[in-house]
Amino acid sequence: MSLVNKLRRPSPHKAHSANEAHTKESLTIVSHESRTMALARAAAVMTAPSKPLSPVVAVPIPKIVKPVTPAEQYWAARALTAEAILSVKTQHHEEIKMLAVVEETKRTQEVAQVNQMHESRQRRLEAIAIALLTALVGLVAFLLYTPQANRSPARQSRSVHFTIPILSPFASVVEHESSVIGTKILTVIILASAVLAYGCFRFWMAHRLGR
What digits encode the pLDDT tens for the residues 150-168?
Answer: 555 554 445 555 555 555 5
Q: Is 210:159 a contact under the CB 8 Å cutoff?
A: no
Count of domains observed in the chain: 1
Measure the CA dihedral 25/26/29/33, to 10°. -150
At 45-103, the pLDDT tens digits run 444 445 444 554 555 555 555 656 888 888 888 889 999 999 999 999 999 999 999 99
| Mean pLDDT value across residues 11-35 | 49
Rounded to the nearest 5 degrees, what angle is found at the Cα of 94, between the Cα atoms of 92 and 98?
A: 120
Mean pLDDT (the chain, rounded):
68
Backbone angles phi, psi at 172, to 5 degrees: -135, 150
Burial 73-110 (b: 16+ CB within 10 A, else e): bbeebeeeeeeeeeeeeeeeeeeeeeeeeeeeeeeeee
The pLDDT, as a whole number, for residue 42 is 56
Please check whether residue 61 lies inside any domain of the structure.
no
Please check whether residue 19 lies inside any domain of the structure.
no
Three-state secondary structure call for residue 175: strand
Alpha carbon distance 204, 183 (integer Å) = 31
Please check whether residue 42 lies inside any domain of the structure.
no
pLDDT-derived band of residue 14, with 50, 70 and 90 as boundaries? very low
Backbone angles phi, psi at 53, to 5 degrees: -75, -30
- Amino acid occupying residue 210: G
Contacts of 81 (CB under 8 A, 6+ apart): 36, 40
The more confidently predicted of residues 9 and 89 is 89
Contacts of 160 (CB under 8 A, 6+ apart): 174, 175, 177
- Amino acid occupying residue 180: V
Please check whether residue 112 lies inside any domain of the structure.
yes
Please check whether residue 103 lies inside any domain of the structure.
yes
Q: Is 108:67 a contact under the CB 8 Å cutoff?
A: no
Residue 170 DSSP one-character state: T
**H or E segment to which residue 69 belongs:** none
Q: Is 133:198 a contact under the CB 8 Å cutoff?
A: yes
Please check whether residue 84 lies inside any domain of the structure.
yes
Q: Is 104:68 a contact under the CB 8 Å cutoff?
A: no
**H or E segment to which residue 74 belongs:** helix 70-144
Please check whether residue 95 lies inside any domain of the structure.
yes
User: What residues make up the domain containing 117?
Assistant: 68-147
Please check whether residue 91 lies inside any domain of the structure.
yes
Q: Is 52:94 a contact under the CB 8 Å cutoff?
A: no
Backbone angles phi, psi at 173, to 5 degrees: -115, 135
